[in-house]
Amino acid sequence: MLKAIPETWVCKVAQTSKRGTPDILMCMSGVFVAIELKTDTGKTSKLQDYNLDRVAKSRGIAIVMTPKNMHEMLERLKAIAQIFSLNCKANETWR
């Protein structure tokens, strides 16, 4: 689903990653997005909240996605991708 958003790179973080790291990291039209996946009744830990807050304070997008809000979050991401794809065309790898 996320890979269908134009100009998007998505990485599902492995279970062996650093604790508190969001489940999905992605770059969408030049915007960094961190997604924590939870069940409808699941709660984020203090460390997950801390990391999501750091992403948001760094002008990235931090999302807690559940089955209940998944459709709304995907629609928001698609809308944001359209806005930023019009304004950002940096498409090179620095080496």
Chain segment 38-55, per-residue pLDDT in tens: 999 999 999 999 999 999
What pLDDT was estimated at residue 16? 56
- Rg (C-alpha) for the chain, rounded Å, is 14
Residues 57-89 pLDDT 10s = 999 999 999 999 999 999 999 888 888 776 655
Give the torsion sign (CA, 67, 72, 2, 18). Answer: negative
Q: According to the model, what pLDDT value does residue 4 have?
A: 79
- What is the model's pLDDT at position 3? 74
Give the integer Cα–Cα distance in Å for 28 and 15: 23
Are 13 and 23 in contact, with CB atoms under 8 Å apart?
yes
